Every structure is written in C-alpha cells, then in structure tokens.
Amino acid sequence: MTDRQRRPGWPVGRRPAAVPHRRPLGGGAAAPRPPVVAAADERAAALVDAVRIRLAEVGAAPTAGSVAAALRAARPPLGGDDVLDAVRVLRSELVGAGPLDALLGEPDVTDVLVNGPDQVWVDRGGGLRRVPEIRFPDAEAVRRLAHRLATAAGRRLDDARPWVDARLPDGTRLHAVLPPIAAGCTHISLRICRTRPFTMAELVTGGALPPIGAELLTAVLRARLSLLISGGTGTGKTTLLAALLGLVEPDERIVLAEDSAELRPDHPHVVRLQSRPPNQEGLGELTLRDLVRQALRMRPDRVVVGEVRGEEVVDLLSALNTGHEGGCGTVHANTAADVPARLEALGSLAGLDRLSLHSQLRAALDVVIHLVRDQRTGQRRVAELHMLVGDERGLALTVPALAFTAEGGCTPGPGWERLRRRCAERGVVLPEPAVVAR
C-alpha cells in the first residue's frame, strides 16, 4: 500500500488493498520486542489501518466525528471511555504528530527530537532530556510520521529528496532526514514556535538579560541603529529579535524576509516574505536574496532578515547603506568578534571581495548583540553588545561596549562611548557608564 493510498481523502470507489505489517526499510527484521508490547502494537496498527481504509472509502476528512464513526464501523471491543481515548489516539496518528502530540502540547517544550522508535528527546529550556515513556512501534512508524508532517507542510519527502526543512501550519519548524542519509532510522527534529512572542519584561524575568540591559537594547532600537543578533544554535536569537521588533513604533512598516516563517513579532504592521525551494523539475525557487531585493521595493521602514546565511548579506548591507536605517537580523557565530569574518565568508559567496565587503559592513552595521547558552543549566542569555569599528587596514572589527554577567551585572567596555555618541546623534540619551555598571 502506498503512502498516497493510505491517506484519508483517497477518491471514493478506489479501495486500497490490505497489506501485512511493514518491516523497517532495507528489508531487515524489526528489532525484537516483548510479546505483549508487540501484540498491542500490532492491534493498534491494524486499527489505524482499518480506520484509514474506512475514511478512504467514504472520502471523509479525518475529523473527530468521522474518525469516531470509522472506529465504530471497525467494531473494536471498547467501552465508552475507551472509544474516546481511541478516537484521540487515532486522529493523532492520522493527521497529528502521533506519540509526539502530548509533548508538542506542553507549553514549556521548545524542541522535540526523534532519533529512533525508542529514542525521543525533548528540551524544556534546560537542555535535552530523553523521554523513555514515549516510543514508536518501529522505524517504519517514524518514517510514516515524517511523510505525514512533510505533506502537511506542503513539501516533498521521498527517496529522491530524502530531507525536508519546512514550517508546519501551526508554526512548528520541521526537519526530517530519511535513510540511508540518516543511519538506521528516519530522524525528525521539531522546533516549537510560541503562539505569542516573549516580551522584554518576560525575558528579564527569565534571566535572559538584566533590567538595565532591556533598557539599553530598547534605546538602541529607538535610535534606529542597524544591528545583528549573533550566537550559536538554540541560544535564543530569533526569540530576542521578535521581542525587539515588538518595541518598534506602531506606525513603522516591518518587512521580514525568512527561509521559514519563524518571526512573529507583536506589531500591527508586519509583512512576511518566505523563500521557496525548487519543485521536482528544479524550477520555481525563490531564494532569500530574491526576497531581500523585493523587500526593498515594498516601502519598508525596517528590513529584517530572519537569518543571514548566504549571498543575501550583500543585498542587506547595500540596503542598510542606502537609507534603510534600523534594519536587523540574526547570524550564526561563536562570538561577537567572529561576526565580521562570518559575513566576509558569506559575502565571498556572492563574489564580493574582502575590502569591498568590509567597507560596506563598516558603513552599514552599528551593533552586534551576542547570545550564549550555558551548557550546564541550559540558560540562554545576552552576553555582550559590540560596536563595529574599522582598523588601519580598512577591515571591520568589533569592540565590546557592554558585557552582561550571568548574575545580572552589566559592565561597560571600550566601545561604550561610541555607542553613547551614536545614540545621542539620533536623539536618544543612554545612562552614564557609572550608572550602567551598578
């Protein structure tokens, strides 16, 4: 039975043939399981198949009502409460995330990772922890879930294209890789997007930065300084950027360009542009660079690139050098001092030579905000704020203006006076260093 035949909504009158329970990809035998667990898994799989076939026969969408009707038609030996539980489980298997639904519904979960049928990991803000009580029947069940999620995101996932990076309808970011690229089993990575962005006050309460740090970043934004938020994977770059964009004046127009729609700032005037991969014929691709070019023609007050990761850095720097002040974005970098080198490498992809890139960078970018994540506690926080300057060779480099400690302290650095002057030129007064240091 193909994945197409197994999906609800298959045309009426074309009943898919029943097939035996599948083995893992590659023809190998499934890993041995306890007899009781294996029997329960077989019964559950058979029930899901029966409901799928029933929905396909009548051409019904997998709503709670239609699933319940199909379940009754299958005549399982269940009581009233058991039927309700079975309906929830079956609907989760048909259109939801299966065993992962419970985790995705928890408000504190940020990431869910699947490495195998019994290898489910979750991050609740304190680092990854294994969840042994949640498991899949076998590797084929993990693959089916990856297929279903990719279809929900409108993307292709098969042997010809064995990976997918997409956004699900609820905003969750999906990444999945099929064997043989993924050794042994399909790997699924889900990053949950909050329905409501954090406010600066909530970031302060959560320890991401001290109160004086929130005041300073708000002042930098009000001064319309161009900035990049740097940091490693999972340090909270997008979270901080969304919170900052929520502070932009309501009469300003924000145009976002992203590979996948992650930013959801609490702002009344946001225009979102999202890139698109090529189709099966290799046509129709829309790159982030295309989006940045279009954003500049949409009368933006602030141009925002969700993540600078390629040739679009040239167009972004050009925009910031031609009157589009207050632009911002995120970039992966180990330290704030590494940002110029990182952008230099990205600029070389577009054929821009080193001196030209650094010349544009010095004129376009004002501030780098760097975030870190404590590997022991999982705490994400703002660590440094750097200013862009030039050296005697004409190359851009960063100097620390402020350093934030894990205990909530804030210490000015060599770039503090430059930051204060830049803000004063825009009519924004910052606290004196002595006040900041307390």
Q: State the chain's mean pLDDT as an integer.
A: 80
Across 233-245, average pLDDT? 91
Q: What is the mean pLDDT of residues 107-116?
A: 90
Query: Which residue shows structure tokens 């009580």?
Result: 133
Q: How confident is the model at residue 124 (pLDDT cuts 50, 70, 90)?
A: confident
The predicted structure's pLDDT at residue 189? 95
Give the separation between CA 30 and CA 32, rounded to whole angstroms: 6
CB 309 within 8 A of CB 289: no
- Beta carbons within 8 Å of 275's beta carbon, 6+ residues apart: 257, 258, 259, 260, 286, 287, 288, 290, 291
How far apart, in whole angstroms, are the C-alpha atoms of residue 280 and residue 135? 33
What's the whole-number mean pLDDT along residues 70-94?
A: 54
Residue range 361-380, pLDDT digits in tens: 998 999 999 999 887 777 88
Q: What is the H or E stretch that residue 15 is in?
A: none
The burial class, CB within 10 Å (0-12 / 13-18 / 19+), for 82 is exposed
Q: Distance from CA of residue 206 to its chain's centroid?
A: 20
DSSP code of 191?
Answer: E
Beta strands 119-123 and 111-116 are antiparallel
Residue 250 has pLDDT above 60, yes or no: yes
- pLDDT tens digits along 132-152: 999 898 899 899 889 888 887
* pLDDT, greater one: 298 or 437: 298
Tokens of 408: 């909530």
